[in-house]
Amino acid sequence: MKALLALEDGRAFECRSFTGPGEAPGEVVFNTGMTGYQEILTDPSYRGQLVTMTYPLVGNYGVNLDDIESDRIQVAAFLVSEYQENYSNFRASGSLADYLKAHGVMGVDELDTRALTRRIRQAGAMRAIASTIDLDPQSLSARAAKIPPMVGQDLVRHVATKRPYFWKNNRPQAHVTGPLDEKVWGEQNSALRVAALDYGVKYNILRCLENAGCQVLVLPADTTADEIKQLKPHGVFLSNGPGDPEPLSYAVKTARDLIGYKPIFGICLGIQLLGQALGAKTFKLKFGHHGVNQPVQQLATGKVEITSQNHGFAVDPDTLDSSAVEITHINLNDQTLEGFRHRNYPLFTVQYHPEAAPGPHDAGYLFDEFVSMMKDCQ
């Protein structure tokens, strides 16, 4: 079905919808991964975004029930160069097109993704609309320019859990009922108790924490520090999530009130919230980091990790208090901040995704570091 993708700057791209009629507004970004489209589709950090894949052929291995990172597709639309209808994989349970249709998400192909990506790199991530209904470039671009910008929006409230739940045996369990206190963990065992604040957490993060020997209780994003302290966890985890950290004052306050209480580990949005809690500023990147091949250097050792990333905002390192915080990692592509730790308290954080899914496993050791930190603080 004929479709049109129009950017807010007036640029329009003819394309086709392989999921039928529809229209999808949002911010358009590109992802450089060659595989892992199902994990990308279900990553809550993509909430409100139209994701275009730079790899040209998508859909060839279908979809399955295991490679998901949340309970639904999160992207506003999926934009590819060529959709492959005839999939083949021993784990496949269906086609990508049927999966998108089942979730009411628009899929677009026959799109010049190379030209689109070049435009985003030159001008930055921008608002756009993909449509089979309005095929007038001027009209569609004008409407795209009226979409509320990502800056200043609280997107976390759309993706975070509303009720606490335990992650156990590689899946979310029934929601917790009753008061949240130390008794919620059940009988004492050797597992380290982790209170995981959900700002849009990926399932594989929870898998990695459980595999590292943790008992993981996932909490709503607006859980307060006092409520967390009632639980008496061994450590606190701050998850990834979508959009701008600036409007998340409630999450920043919780992070600030927890510094020095127990070991803290933050990923992606978590580093931005902890940065703000420590007095730093955040800013919007030109086109973000979205992919599985971002080189990050450990400053202490000089070692380079190839990392999976998905974020559009970052912490300004010049606004961090160097007497309290040590920068631990930098991005070798653009020298942006990729990690820091506190000099006095058990707190460390990274901008990238050590759990991957999709992506390399170079940074998986960070979960073991968190476990060691919690053990040292018992």
Q: Closest Cα to residue 168, out of 219, 221, 214, 120?
A: 214
Q: Angle at which helices 269-277 and 249-258 pack, to 10 degrees?
A: 70
Please report which residue ranges of 42-109 form alpha helices under DSSP H: 96-102
Backbone CA torsion sign across 222, 223, 226, 227: positive
268 has catalytic annotation: yes
**Residue 376 burial (CB < 10 Å; 0-12/13-18/19+)?**
exposed
How many Å apart are CA 190 and CA 47, to the nearest integer? 37
Active-site residue, 15 included: no
Q: What's the CA gap between 77 and 73, in Å, rounded? A: 10
Nearest Cα residue to 339 out of 323, 360, 325: 325
Of 208, 234, 268, 338, which residue is the catalytic one?
Answer: 268
* DSSP 8-state assignment for residue 147: S
Nearest 10 degrees: Cα torsion 210, 214, 216, 222: -120
Q: What angle do CA 146, 311, 120 make, to 5 degrees?
A: 55
Say if residues 359 and 33 touch (Cβ distance below 8 Å).
yes
Q: Residues 17, 20, 23, 28: is their CA dihedral positive or negative?
A: negative
Number of H helices, E strands in the chain: 10, 20
- Does 353 qualify as catalytic in the annotation? yes
Residue whose token pair is 């990333």: 309
- In whole angstroms, give the CA distance from residue 51 to residue 238: 25
Instruction: Tell me the catalytic residues.
Output: 268, 353, 355
